[in-house]
Structure 1
Amino acid sequence: MRLYGQELTRREVAALSGDLSQFAGVRQMTLCDGAEAGQRVLEFRTGTGLRFTLMVDRCLDIGSCEYNGMAIGWHSAPGFRNPTLHDAEGENGLGFMRSFSGLLMTCGLDHILGGYEADVPEYNYPGRPTATHGIHGRVSMLPARLTGYGERWDGNRCFLWAEGVVRQSAVFAEDLELTRRIEVEVGTNDIQLIDEVRNRGFNRTPHMLCYHINVGHPILAEGARYVAPIEDVVWAAHADTYQDQGVGYARPSGPADTFREQVWQHEMKADADGNVAIALINDALPLGLEVTTRKSELPCTYEWQHLQSGGYAFGIEPSTHHVLGNGFARERGEMIWLEHGDSRLYTVRLKVLTDTDDIARSEAAIVATQMQPDEPFPMPSGDFRALSGRG
């Protein structure tokens, strides 16, 4: 492994300390104060300056994340509330906003995006003919059953890992299970997520998934750059007032007291291996975050600009479905339906770009796949490409 500029064998690392935890490791902690109190957290340190926490009781999502003391992930005013305080049905489905925080929040498993009331004859229960969904679904506030964590050695390489199971279920409703594994190699800044969503129930069940990846200051700052292989700007929530705030898709502004959130959907081009890489870069630091997903698994990507003072965040959101949501997916026959035992696999890579060489390599690969529009306000096409083979 590479530590502190040296290439070291497992024996050499062992000789330098009584325990690897002096340099890197994963350990479980319990938060004990305020609205966070009572939650299990796994803290990862890779020996490079990368530190992040997995919120075990919040879907094993990534909460805080930093590199050499510089924040990567976004922290909201509500913070990392204990999920026992969460009301998924509250505020006409907007209760999500009282728990929305962290580098990663998983949205799903049967609904994402805005609130929606769906007919659910598949659950065969006359007393509940419809299901009411709040924004971004329920899974992000469900605790995981932690099945393991620790170190895994492969020769002279060491990997830190954790795995758990999150089950979203109800009587006469969905019974979906998310199995999540997170790995990061000691001496690197690459976080790997492998997720499997399976229908444990015996009713045909809808499935939607979105990874809400939220970058904060100091990567997010005036002068930062959104770099992505954009073939087409499909949709903008603010198309009727497109240029009024003076912030285009590629260059965020600094915080503004009255900023109203801006959301886009972009059609991304995959590279020769079927991957889509997107980065938010701050050249002045230099520091960035690159997100890589599989186009076949997550064909849609949203961009979220929440540049309001006190909430300052930038979202990269790979998704299974178009931004118009649950009803749109059903109308077009694009909803994913899982029969008993059916599953879907998703892989996500989060890489912290720590110097100018890292940034240059990331940008060169993205640009080689597809040049993004130069125009900061490209007119949305409204061309929502068909998502075939969803069942």
Structure 2
Amino acid sequence: MASQPTPPTTADLRRRTGDLAAFAGVQEVVLKNGREEGVRALILRNAVGLEIEVLIDRAFDLGGARFRGVPFGWRSGNGFRHPGLHESDAEDGLSWLRALDGLLVTGGLDHALFGGEYDATHYAYPPKQTVRHGLHGRLTAIPARLLRVEEDWQESGGTLRVVGEVIQATSFGEHLRLTRTIEIDMFGATVRVRDVVDNLGFEPTPHMFLYHLNIGYPFVDEGTVLVAPITEHIWASESTMQQGVTYDTLPAPVDGFVEQVWEHGLVAGTDGRHRVALHASDGARGIEVSWDAAAQPYFFEWQNLRAGQYAVGLEPSSTPVTGESAARENGSLTWLAHGESRSYDMTIQLLDGEQDVSASGARIRGIGGQPAGAAS
């Protein structure tokens, strides 16, 4: 692969246009029509063809995502529904599946994974002895408050940066805040997500946090492989024993495929980060994801390979797949005191061509191998 040309300087670009927005910038829009009517969004677009949508009114999550015109963020068919349409307690807690769409859907802030009924006496409100949570919590349907939009042009390159705040609160219950920063560089192929969750309330509050990062076609396709420094398969859904689909190599879409979920034990790199990647079968494209291993030590792989759905979810999590009940029982559940916080970050790197994919493989293999059956 030929070496990449040196990006022009900002001064070079200013001599060639009256508006730097011709090359990169942030645009605020309001989605119109149907289920998405009224949803505010930000479109971040840089000078090498990376474009992402930040859904302000859906917890500052990531919607559509493209690189040089090619989508990599999954679309489920649900659309980016207005939060007013969401019923978090409906369908026995599975209504979250009606909001599942786009590149990033975050689980939290006080609950993630499958739902249930849990003790709430720590909130000291006698009529509320328990609280019910649905799948992946309430965060998804809460609109954010837009705090900042920055187009930070430097002499060489620069950064597009947006910051939002989501408050999840109820009287006599949780009062948690998510402050999220999303960045892309003017000439880069990387998306950076940085999050801080803190407790604004005065009662100790459970906290769980999960990134549901959803990759779609053509970055997910027949022969795509998962590359990760895996020590063991800690847990797998029953469906993984019945369909003949391995964790590491994907088939073409399958009619009626039952979702498969794996929890993989990962080795962290010397930088304290976990790294996993999806590589296309021809080595021409891929995506590498990294995150702080201490903040989110657990990793799930979600294979939704059903025709008409077809996606892979890469899911760093603060809590193992056994969920809140087990974490309460064994004492591992995170509780935030008043003013206490937790920080998270995730980097999504687009791999453009054989050289990038090869370097990604070497980077991950340098940390550790993975169980037999994986691609070499």
Q: Secondary structure at the match of 1:298?
A: coil
Q: Residue type matched to 2:346 in 1? A: V
Q: Quote how far apart the aligned CAs of 1:192 are.
A: 0.8
Q: Name the structure 2 match of 1:156.
A: 156
Structure 1 contact 278–291 (Cα < 8 Å) conserved: yes
Q: Quote how far apart the aligned CAs of 1:152 are.
A: 1.3
Q: Residue type matched to 2:174 in 1? A: E
1:148-177 deviation per Cα after TM superposition (whole angstroms, max 9, x unaligned): 113013442210010010000000110000
1:27-73 deviation per Cα after TM superposition (whole angstroms, max 9, x unaligned): 10111111111011100111112111000100111100011221101
Identical pairs, percent: 40
Unaligned runs of 5+ in 1: 377-391
Structure 1 contact 120–130 (Cα < 8 Å) conserved: yes
Structure 1 contact 283–356 (Cα < 8 Å) conserved: no
Q: TM-score, normalised by structure 1?
A: 0.93
Alignment partner of 1:275 out of 273, 276, 286: 273
Alignment partner of 2:285 out of 284, 287, 295: 287
Matched, 1:13 2:34: no
Matched, 1:36 2:36: yes
Q: Secondary structure at the match of 2:220?
A: coil
Q: Quote how far apart the aligned CAs of 1:285 are.
A: 6.7
1:368-391 deviation per Cα after TM superposition (whole angstroms, max 9, x unaligned): 101011236xxxxxxxxxxxxxxx
1:107-131 deviation per Cα after TM superposition (whole angstroms, max 9, x unaligned): 0001011111110111001101000
Task: Give the paired residue count.
Answer: 371
Q: Secondary structure at the match of 1:351?
A: strand
Aligned runs of 1:204-215 on 2, under 5 Å? 204-215=204-215
CA distance in 2, matches of 1:283, 1:354: 14
Structure 2 contact 10–154 (Cα < 8 Å) conserved: no
Runs of 4+ in 1 over 3 A off after TM superposition: none
Unaligned runs of 5+ in 2: none
Alignment partner of 1:375 out of 359, 373, 376: 373
Q: Quote how far apart the aligned CAs of 1:24 are.
A: 1.1
Q: Name the structure 2 match of 1:364.
A: 362
Q: Quote how far apart the aligned CAs of 1:5 are.
A: 3.0
1:290-315 deviation per Cα after TM superposition (whole angstroms, max 9, x unaligned): 11001101000000001011111100
Aligned runs of 1:232-311 on 2, under 5 Å? 232-238=232-238, 242-284=240-282, 286-311=284-309
Structure 1 contact 62–104 (Cα < 8 Å) conserved: yes
Structure 1 contact 281–287 (Cα < 8 Å) conserved: yes
CA distance in 2, matches of 1:243, 1:180: 38
CA distance in 1, matches of 2:183, 2:22: 19
Q: Name the structure 1 match of 2:342.
A: 344
CA distance in 1, matches of 2:106, 2:13: 36
**Range 127-136 or range 45-54, more displaced:** 45-54
CA distance in 2, matches of 1:7, 1:185: 12
Aligned runs of 1:1-391 on 2, under 5 Å? 5-238=5-238, 242-284=240-282, 286-375=284-373
Quick one: structure 1 residues 242 and 191, their matched pair in 2 at CA, closer, same or farther if it must change by over 3 Å? closer
Q: Residue type matched to 1:85 in 2? A: L
Q: Secondary structure at the match of 1:344?
A: strand
Q: Quote how far apart the aligned CAs of 1:230 are.
A: 0.5
Q: TM-score, normalised by structure 2?
A: 0.96
1:211-239 deviation per Cα after TM superposition (whole angstroms, max 9, x unaligned): 0000011111110010111111100012x
CA distance in 1, matches of 2:15, 2:6: 14
CA distance in 1, matches of 2:146, 2:361: 37
**Range 218-227 or range 282-291, more displaced:** 282-291
CA distance in 2, matches of 1:19, 1:245: 54
Q: Secondary structure at the match of 1:12?
A: helix
